[in-house]
Structure 1
Amino acid sequence: MNRRPPQPPTVRISRYRAAPGTDGALALGRVPGAVAAEHRLRIVRPGDDAEAELRRFADTALLMVAETLAGIRPPARLSVIALPDVCRALDARRTVRPARIVPPRVGTGWLQRPAPAAAETGAVIVVAGRVHALALRLEHRRGRWRCTAVETTAA
């Protein structure tokens, strides 16, 4: 019997816990024994014409996922930008729609390209008055960008 290895979750909700000795600040440093990546990460800057399409897609994807987390947009509507696994995982986490709908705000964001056909984007978002982190994995498949994974602190 051939068994597939377990796949990482497509949507992961992270609970924030401060690392020991950091007083809640992020501890940015090399992990002992970590091997340097073959491709260096590159920050994509606004105005970089070669990356303009990717930046527009990333901004749209962040807003659409934030709206889904806020209960404004049904997860099935993400099928335009995301893989079916992402839509199903977000639909499974969906809670009852709030009585008063408050549009989410997308704040400071970033975009990087760890590989030619992959990008990672993230932003600080405000959903229902609470500040959360949102990160998306984007991959170029069949001639277009698609969201393949979501990680957030918004439940």
Structure 2
Amino acid sequence: MPPVVRRLPAYEPPVGGAVPLPRPRPRPARVPEPDPPSPALDPLRLVGAVLEVLDGRRPARLLRQVAVPGLAVRLGAMVRPRTTRMVRMPRVCHPSRFVAEISATVRREGRVLAVACRVEHRGGRWWFTSFAVLE
């Protein structure tokens, strides 16, 4: 029997009238909810109050209102009559919403010193958890 030639089915896409493939629908981007702002903090007033207690210009009982108990006792033992003045506005860094680290430069008896402290927001107010005058 002689060979039979048959026509093949079309395997090329049509020219000019290509049908676009359906695109996947983009998913909506998840936008995280922003953190609420940190509670109001007045670093100049807080650090200034502790420095006034350490200089003997304010009563030591004030420390119980701004510092955790262990720190208040330790700072109360450091009270001496002297004069300390703030040189620059304190700088504040917020590692988290309820924690702030404060640094300041002060002048005491002719020397310029650094103050470093950490405050935490508890029970509706800011409390010192660490306070150091770096001499």
Residue in 2 that maps onto 1:84: 69
Say which of 97, 109, 112 aligns to 1:128. Answer: 109
Name the residue aligned to 1:66.
51
Distance 1:93 1:105 in 2: 17
> What runs of 5+ residues in structure 2 fail to find an aligned partner?
1-36
What do you get for the CA RMSD once the two structures are aligned?
2.0
Q: 1:1-155 to 2 correspondence within 5 Å? A: 50=37, 53-54=40-41, 56=42, 58-95=43-80, 97=81, 102=83, 104-108=84-88, 109-154=90-135
- Determine the C-alpha separation between the residues in 2 that align with 1:153 and 1:75: 21
Percent identity (aligned): 31
Structure 1 unaligned spans of 5+:
1-49
> Following TM superposition, where does structure 1 have runs of at least 4 consecutive aligned residues deviating by more than 3 angstroms?
none
Judging changes above 3 Å, is the alpha-carbon distance between structure 1 residues 71 and 127 closer, same or farther for their aligned structure 2 residues? Answer: farther
TM-score, with structure 1 as normaliser: 0.55
Residue pair 2:38, 2:97 contacting (<8 A) in 1 also: no
Give the Cα separation in 2 of the matches to 1:134 and 1:110: 10
Q: How far, CA to CA, are the matches of 1:76 and 1:129 in structure 2?
A: 28
After superposition, what is the alpha-carbon deviation per residue over 1:28-65, rounded to whole angstroms, capped at 9, x for unaligned?
A: xxxxxxxxxxxxxxxxxxxxxx55821x2x21111012
Counterpart-to-counterpart distance in 2, 1:130 and 1:68: 19
The count of corresponding residues between Structure 1 and Structure 2 is 98
